[in-house]
Amino acid sequence: MDNYSKKLAHILPTLLAITFGTVIVFVLLRLLLELGLHVSTIKDEVWHKGIPFFAPWIPVMIWLRPRLRVLTFDAFEDRQRSALLVTSGATILIATMMSQQYLTTATGALTEVKRVGDIEAMPPARYYHIERFAVNSALQGFASTLREYGKRNEKLMMDLYFVCPMVDESAKEQIPKVWYGVHFHKEISNRLTAAQTEREYQSFRNRCEYEMLGYQYTTVDHMERVTASDKLEQYREAVKRSMYVAASDSVILEPIREKYEARNGNKLAWVFGSIAIGLAIFLILLIWADYKQPG
């Protein structure tokens, strides 16, 4: 037990510092760029996945790895030390990811507008409650993507994007700038034959198109603006296919049926929960390591 206390005293402060430090640094960086400097061109995927995937490993390798040199193991020393590094990195990764997702929803204020045309004249917001709007489903646009993913590309993701212009009485004769977006997603095995994959895709597309025929556009609590992301690019591609016009400035709104107050879900709890779970696993792994006095 005395050796375990020494291990904790030598390693735990550094682990806690880089864990909370990494999460806080990237939260503050995003607040500075998006809320302070209004730099909003960085895609959501970068904040939610890209940065969290790469962020942990630099502090882990620079500051935590040297602290683990006081540990010795009876067997498989490299593997057991690597397990400690991977556990700490994964903990920071998940906590950073969840904190960025929480920041996305928590900082989004709800803007009240009376009609769709008001949105174009206002500064961009993430959430809107629109008092009156209609959707012109006759001008529906469509785009789709197929993407492989997984360690060995064993899965195939199918994404379908439908858009329809949102209109009001004052904008009937104008080229619509605000569009209603609906996204469908399905995953299948990437080990299917080309014919099987095509059948799966056509079945999925037919089901989504049928659902769009009876879609309840106005049954929403509020709308969420799609910010810079791969999703936004696909929606804008669907806009171009609908009207054959430049769509680079199109505003895409997605329906949200849950209450605005529920937008954060359990994201904040998962930030601290992931840290607690990761630290618990790290501390358990530390039991099997011996301690040598640093020279």
- Angstrom distance (rounded) from CA 27 to CA 166: 34
Q: Are residues 239 and 281 in the same domain?
A: no
Q: Are residues 184 and 226 in the same domain?
A: yes
Q: Is residue 69 in a domain?
A: yes
Q: Are residues 14 and 56 in the same domain?
A: yes
Closest CA to 221 of 87, 112, 108, 138: 112
Express each pLDDT in 52-79 by its tens digit: 999 999 999 999 999 998 888 776 677 8
- Angstrom distance (rounded) from CA 71 to CA 65: 11
Contact 156/197 with Cβ under 8 angstroms?
Answer: yes
Q: Mapping DSSP to helix (H, G, I), strand (E, B) and coil, where does residue 101 land?
A: helix
Q: Are residues 204 and 237 in the same domain?
A: yes
The CA R_g of the chain, rounded to the nearest whole Å, is 24
Q: What is the pLDDT of residue 149?
A: 85
Q: Is residue 38 in a domain?
A: yes
Q: Are residues 251 and 278 in the same domain?
A: no
Q: Could you tell me the pTM of the whole model?
A: 0.84
| % pLDDT > 90, the chain | 63
Hey, what are 64's tokens? 């935590």
Q: Is residue 115 in a domain?
A: no
Q: Are residues 283 and 198 in the same domain?
A: no
Q: Is residue 24 in a domain?
A: yes
Closest CA to 107 of 34, 50, 52: 34
Q: Is residue 129 in a domain?
A: no
Q: Are residues 57 and 73 in the same domain?
A: yes
Tell me how far CA of residue 158 lies from CA of 51, 204, 236, in angstroms.
24, 9, 18
Identify the burial level of 33 via C-beta atoms within 10 angstroms of its C-beta, where 0-12 means exposed, 13-18 middle and 19 or more buried.
Answer: middle
Closest CA to 136 of 176, 89, 79, 84: 176
Has residue 222 got a pLDDT over 90?
yes
Q: Is residue 118 in a domain?
A: no
Task: Kindly give, in sequence order, each residue whose CB lies less than 8 Å from that of residue 104, ignoring residues fewer than 6 positions away.
Answer: 44, 47, 48, 126
Q: Are residues 95 and 149 in the same domain?
A: no
Express each pLDDT in 127-144 by its tens digit: 999 998 899 988 899 999
Mean of per-residue pLDDT scores for the chain: 89
Q: Are residues 139 and 247 in the same domain?
A: yes
Q: What is the pLDDT of residue 170?
A: 58
Express each pLDDT in 278-287 by its tens digit: 999 999 999 8
Q: Are residues 168 and 278 in the same domain?
A: no
Tell me how far CA of residue 94 lies from CA of 67, 282, 283, in angstroms.
22, 15, 18
The predicted model gives 258-262 an average pLDDT of 93
- Angstrom distance (rounded) from CA 21 to CA 60: 12
Q: Are residues 102 and 6 in the same domain?
A: yes
Q: Are residues 161 and 95 in the same domain?
A: no
Residue the block writes with tokens 């864990």: 19
Structural domains in the chain (count): 2
Has residue 40 got a pLDDT over 70?
no
Q: Which domain holds residue 251?
A: 134-217+222-258
Q: Crossing angle for the helix pair 2-30 and 77-106, nearest 10 degrees?
A: 40
Q: Is residue 252 in a domain?
A: yes
Express each pLDDT in 148-159 by its tens digit: 988 788 899 999
- Angstrom distance (rounded) from CA 274 to CA 269: 8
Q: Is residue 240 in a domain?
A: yes
